[in-house]
Chains A and B, each alone.
Chain A
Amino acid sequence: MTPTVDERLASLIRSLSQVVLPHLPPEASLAQEQVHLALGRLHILRAQLDAAPAFEAEEAQDAAQHSRDLLTLGGPGAAPLADAVAAAADQDVREQVRTIHAGIDRYIRAAWSGGEPAHRAAVSKLVVAYEHDRVQKDRQWCAPFGFDSL
């Protein structure tokens, strides 16, 4: 690909940092702040660009596996969750995650509105265990934002 995405991002960074920013007057505090934020975001995008497709694919795979694990517990929301997993199969990876997470949300709601206490406890344990691992991947991915103390 010519120019590469990396070259295009690099030129945006150079433009903002070396042309736009030095010409902003001191009193343009919001504009300066926004340019600094935009530059930070562009640097992160540039660093994550190559890894993004694999990250998103793994996120979708994890969500689908978690759904299958939940379905082994049965319960009142199992059928709609199975439908959601089936519907997600034909979608792109981002839409897959949204569809499956919406299905899991309905499944958890059903467990609390119509499930037995033992079923709720089993669902909770599985969700917490899954998110314990999944969240660490998300934290690593978002670490360059600077919020996390990882």
Chain B
Amino acid sequence: MNIVVIGLGEVGRHLLSVLDKEGHDIVAVDSSSQAVQYAEEHYDVASIVGYGASEKLLKVSGAARADLVVAVTNHDEMNLVAALGAKQLGAKHVVARVQGTAWSEWTEGLRYGVLGVDVVINPRVLVAQELSRIARSYGASDVVDLAQDRVELVQIDLEESRALNKPLSSVELPPHTLVSAVVRDGDLFVPGGADVLVKGDRVYLIGRPEGVLAAERMFSKEREARRICIVGGGVVGKALARELLQQEATVMMIESDLATAEEISAEFQGIQVVHGDGTDGALLEEEEVGTYDLFAAVTRADEINLMAALLAQRAGCKRTATIVQRADYTSIYRQLGIDIVLSPRTVASDQILRFSRGGGLHSLTVLEDGQAEVVELTASARCRAVNKPLHRMNLPRGSLLAAIVHGDDVIIPRGKDVVQPGDRVILMTTKEARATVERLFRPRGE
């Protein structure tokens, strides 16, 4: 696939690293020759230095023939113009990222076809939506909605419970749920009936939302977060507050800039806004952060988020969440005891990567730094996997057919279930099994 990536910041580089491994023909564009040099050194891509939204550059980069053009510079307007220009030149799919407040209303996180661009992504809003889903869950550290909210994928770090230390086959999971993957000591595997879950494992549960909620209750003592403290009133903070208010939660927001704090107070009624520094331990004590169910540090500065979350932990808050711009930091945050670490970069690249696959994926969720992924696609009548029972489908080891959405009906399939043409399926595969699974679900002759 011919792909043009404009803007080589955090997201751009991450996309390059993933797309390069997948073997696409990539042209990388940035206005900084240093950024281009970096890409040139580290990835097998062609590269151009220049202003990404200029017509000349788009032509030189081959946007006209590209299957996918991604604009992820730090300038929202430039991304939109570059994407529009590429579309006009004839690019098949164009994706633009925006992150500013001004554009967040246009997008509501993710919007198709708005302003003439195929997809406009606001990763900050998407992250806020994800955080609000996590807040609603019972102790999950990540929640992804699939198949238009009919299927849910959640990540739970296991604590001591009755369901542990016995073979999975003898664990009575709630109906319509299954354990799709287990991460132990950093390695992800797809469990079988004989595998035993132990304390410290991280599991990925998948199933119908109500079933998943019941399963969360089995595995975790945590309950839905009713009282949430947010640090930072930027795009993420505001979007999160909006979502949480809809869930009728109690929200307190700490914002260091007085004008912003007042603005938020005026915009959201029912939020307690506190003007102060989120990394001020005394302030956190004074505001009794320890009594909150969830503490979410979502400023734009990674360091502030980390320190605020650690201070909140010390003040007695049991669940802490942060966002992190530099996705390399994620594992360190986890080691330091932060429960929920989300990265706008990962969210954005998940949304973008699905276009690089072809075959019309509805969604793609990358798990554990690319060790596995969950894809959602419509089974074509011409693919090998349809019209035969699951046990004859020859799914490779390390993969799992997690759900079949047939009309409004969600089936968590067993051996005899059949995928019919037009069904939406949700598949989990490790990276080793991916190619084989793709072959099974790719329409013949494509």
A and B co-occur in one complex: no
